[in-house]
Amino acid sequence: MKCLSTLCLFFVFSIASTTAWGQKQLFKAIEKNSIETFNQGVQRGLDMNHQRAFDQYTPLMLASSKGAMPFVEYILSRNGNHALTDRWGNTALLIALSAGHFDVANVLMERGADLFVRNDVGFNTLMHACYEGGPKVAGVSLSYFNQGPRLQSVQRLIDAGVAVNDSTATGISPVMLAAESGNEELFHLLAGNDADIRLRSHFDGTTVIGRAAVGGNMNILKYLIEEGVAPDTKCQHEMTPFMIAVEKGDMEMVRYLLCKDVDLNYVTPTGHSALKAAVATRHFQLVDTLLKISNLKIDMSTTEGNELVATSILFGDPKVYTLLFQNEANLFEATVHLEQADSLEAARATDAAKAHYARAKASYEKCLQSFEKWESEYRKRANKISAGNALKLLGSLALSVGMSVADPGYTWLVNPGEMNDAESLYKIADKYEQVITYLKYQAEAMAKKANG
């Protein structure tokens, strides 16, 4: 009877060991880095090619993602299947390359892994080898620490015939990935193997020089320009490298490109410009630098007719909008965004919100009327206006305001579609109040000029 019970238990355990529950033990052994436990599972009949449910990973894929060489070699020595793909179409080789485990990738190549495979988004082996993905150590991709094996993998793939200028469905090529990552050795290896440094994505216009600008990689950008790539090359979304550098606040790259006679006044079809990018991203030093360049147009508007000051209002940087006013920016066009409050659906707004908004808008309109009258008078008389008249008109402006500056605790970046109507009204009312402050500043500046 005892022997029968033991036999039954053994039979049950044997069945369980080959089920999904049993197969998990192989994955757990890799996670715990226990090759002994893994071997025991294989000896019990567990399938090394089993694909778990949620991501279709095999033990070989998991080991490849972790750079677990002992497990990779063990599985391959027992004819583990390296051609299987996960839920996203990645083989063990693609996984090892993207994770930066190039020693593992080289072993898989030696064992006959398919070098021309692509995953579901169109990334092939060479693209994965050039991609700075996978684990990071102190914020640095693991690929950085495996540079030798990586270059070996890349050269091996190129020598085997993997097209160096192949690209994904969105037009991303290996050399673009290398340019953005800033890996100069990898970039020059690709360029030396006839990678097209002028390649442009048919999807969003991404270019190699644009990717270098996005990554902030000066040496690669300089190399591209020295090799004849135009500094004003249109990149992703029709932006130029200069505009990208400005948007990122990269002063070193900005200064370098300024010496290359880039078009400072270029505006994209969607109304983006270098100066607007500097204003929107609150880069005071860049705004100041650009405004000091004589051939830059200050009233550079977008296709929607929004002026630079409107952008500074939306993003609320006092230093930036003050700088724009000092450079005689057009204030009146800046109120375009504020007038959008009239179209708000305020059905759910509280009475307090409606009243706050109404007061702010009424005060703003009075202030604007006074200011327009004052400015008209000033423009007519130019420098002949008397100090007394200037102060008198400025006093009239101050009396017309009648309300305090906006609560600094409010956020300025307002998108009415992302909040309830009451909150929208409060925030836009605060914008009206702040414009009153801008008007006062402009009036004071004019008064100083009149007195000067």
Look at residue 277 in the predicted model and tell me its pLDDT.
85
Determine what percent of the chain falls in helix, strand and coil, rounding each to the nearest 5. Answer: 60, 0, 40
**Nearest partner of 130 among 51, 57, 202, 195, judged by Cα:** 195
- End-of-domain residue from the set 162, 188, 215: 162
- End-of-domain residue from the set 138, 162, 186: 162
What is d(CA 277, CA 370) in angstroms, rounded to the nearest whole number? 32
In a domain, 37, yes or no: yes
Give me the DSSP letters along 48-108: TT---TTT---HHHHHHHHT-HHHHHHHHHTT--SS---TTS--HHHHHHHTT-HHHHHHH
Look at residue 340 in the predicted model and tell me its pLDDT.
42
Q: First CA to last CA across the chain, in angstroms?
A: 113
**Nearest partner of 93 among 172, 162, 145, 11, judged by Cα:** 162
Three-state DSSP at 301 gives: coil
- End-of-domain residue from the set 111, 143, 162: 162
Three-state DSSP at 230 gives: coil
> Taking the chain (452 residues) in consecutive chunks of 10 residues, what is each chunk's mean pLDDT?
45 48 88 94 92 93 96 95 95 94 95 95 93 56 70 95 92 94 94 96 92 95 97 93 93 93 86 83 84 64 48 62 63 44 42 58 62 56 46 42 30 34 51 57 55 54
What is d(CA 84, CA 82) in angstroms, rounded to the nearest whole number? 6
In which domain, by residue range, is 145 found? 15-162
Domain holding 131: CATH number?
1.25.40.20
Partners of 118 in beta bridges:
124
What is d(CA 139, CA 96) in angstroms, rounded to the nearest whole number? 19
Q: Residue holding tokens 């990689």?
A: 217
Three-state DSSP at 310 gives: helix
In a domain, 145, yes or no: yes
CA dihedral for 256, 259, 260, 261, sign (positive or negative): positive
Q: Which two tokens stand for residue 35?
A: 């090759």
Provide the number of structural domains found in the chain. 2
What is d(CA 432, CA 411) in angstroms, rounded to the nearest whole number? 14
Give me the DSSP letters along 384-412: GS-HHHHHHHHHHHHHHH-SPPPPTTS--
| One-letter identity of residue 43 | Q
Look at residue 104 in the predicted model and tell me its pLDDT.
95
Is-contact 132 177, C-beta < 8 A?
A: yes
Is-contact 100 146, C-beta < 8 A?
A: yes
- Rounded to the nearest angstrom, the gap between the alpha carbon of residue 405 and the centroid of all alpha carbons in its chain is 34
In a domain, 402, yes or no: yes
Q: State if pTM tops 0.85.
A: no
Q: Which two tokens stand for residue 287?
A: 């705004």
What is d(CA 100, CA 428) in angstroms, rounded to the nearest whole number? 49
In a domain, 311, yes or no: no
Give me the DSSP letters along 417-444: GGS-HHHHHHHHHHHHHHHHHHHHHHHH
Look at residue 80 in the predicted model and tell me its pLDDT.
93
Q: Which two tokens stand for residue 199?
A: 């390649």
In a domain, 213, yes or no: no
In a domain, 233, yes or no: no
What is d(CA 281, CA 109) in angstroms, rounded to the nearest whole number? 46
| One-letter identity of residue 125 | T
In a domain, 266, yes or no: no
Q: Residue holding tokens 């684990």?
A: 135
In a domain, 418, yes or no: yes
What is d(CA 114, CA 367) in angstroms, rounded to the nearest whole number? 72
